[in-house]
């Protein structure tokens, strides 16, 4: 017998289960993301991507998907935003719906961070970065990661504007 068959079957089972969960968010995930110009100076760049389960998330975040699914992520949406007049910088927003978004927040990132009160239920700025700035938070069933390809002093405030808008939208969702 193929010595990898048990793993093979287990992996297939995980994939099947991940796809079967009938998660039904209160509103479509994409509706929680900023539209063009809602955050002043930013326009959506490229099409929104969404996925559910291991395979669906792998089609958005590739090899990182398994870790998110193991920590309870059920579905996600991904959208880039270009900064007007700044071709080389870009904000990436990834929003996950999770069984326990707080757990996903606490366990997905093992690096150093600084806590950020006032955004969602918990928020932080990640510190182990080079040439980039990242903020993540969780609120209700949602976990949100925001990254900007810039380490400028203004970068964090740009992410905060995105985070506050998304947090308000989550609060107002049914």
Partner 1 sequence: MTDRTVALTLEPYPLRKQESNLNRKPIQRRDFITTSGLAAAALAGLGRPSGLKAQAAAPTTGNLWPGRVAEVSNPSAVDSSGGLKSDQVREMVDRAVLELTGAKSVAEAWAKLLPGLGPHDAVGIKINVINPKLPTHPEVVAAVVAGLKAIGVKENNILIWDRVGNGALGSFPKSGYTLNDGPAGARCLGTDHEKVGWDSQVKAQVPSVSLEFPVSRLASEMVKYTINVPVLKDHGQPGITYALKNYYGCIPLLDAPNLAKIRVPLMHTHHGNPQIAELYNNPVFRDKTRLHLGDALIISHLNGPGGPPTAAAYTIHASTDPVALDALGLEIIDQKRKASGLEPAAKRAGFIEAAAKLLLGQADRSQMDLRQVKLG
As a whole number of angstroms, the distance between CA 174 and CA 169 comes to: 10
Residue 110 touches partner 1, criterion: CB under 8 A: yes
Nearest distance from C-beta of residue 174 to partner 1, angstroms: 28
Q: Report how far Cα 103 is from the mean position of its chain's Cα atoms.
A: 14
Residue 85 touches partner 1, criterion: CB under 8 A: no
Cβ proximity to partner 1: between 130 and 174 the closer is 130
- Among residues 72, 18, 133, 30, the alpha carbon closest in space to that of 10 is found at 18
Which range touches partner 1 (CB under 8 A), out of 14-22, 97-105, 115-123, 160-168? 14-22
Cβ proximity to partner 1: between 115 and 172 the closer is 115
Helices 5-20, 53-61: crossing angle, 10 deg rounding = 90
20 Rama sector, left if φ>0, alpha if ψ -120 to 50, beta otherwise: alpha
As a whole number of angstroms, the distance between CA 24 and CA 67 comes to: 21
| Region 15-74 residues binding partner 1, contact defined as CB under 8 A | 15-16, 19, 45-47, 49, 54-55, 58-67
| Region 123-152 residues binding partner 1, contact defined as CB under 8 A | 128-132, 134, 147, 149-152
Cβ proximity to partner 1: between 149 and 173 the closer is 149
Nearest distance from C-beta of residue 142 to partner 1, angstroms: 18
Token readout for 144 is 């949100």
Which range touches partner 1 (CB under 8 A), out of 29-37, 85-93, 156-164, 166-174? 85-93
Residue 3 touches partner 1, criterion: CB under 8 A: yes
5 Rama sector, left if φ>0, alpha if ψ -120 to 50, beta otherwise: alpha
């Amino acid at each position: 017998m193929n010595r990898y068959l048990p793993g093979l079957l287990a992996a297939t089972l995980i994939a099947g289960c991940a796809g079967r969960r009938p998660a039904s968010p209160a509103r479509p995930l994409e509706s929680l993301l900023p539209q063009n110009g809602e955050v002043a100076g930013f326009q959506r760049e490229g099409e929104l991507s969404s996925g559910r389960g291991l395979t669906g998330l792998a089609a958005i975040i590739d090899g990182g998907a398994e870790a998110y699914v193991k920590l309870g992520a059920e579905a996600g949406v991904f959208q880039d935003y270009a900064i007007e007049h700044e071709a080389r910088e870009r904000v990436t927003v990834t929003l996950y719906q999770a069984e326990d978004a707080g757990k996903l927040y606490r366990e997905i990132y093992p690096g150093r961070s600084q806590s950020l009160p006032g955004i969602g239920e918990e928020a932080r700025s990640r510190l182990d970065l080079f040439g980039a700035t990242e903020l993540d938070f969780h609120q209700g069933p949602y976990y949100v990661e925001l990254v900007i390809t810039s380490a400028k002093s203004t970068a964090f405030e740009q992410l905060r504007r995105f985070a506050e808008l998304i947090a308000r939208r989550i609060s107002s969702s049914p």
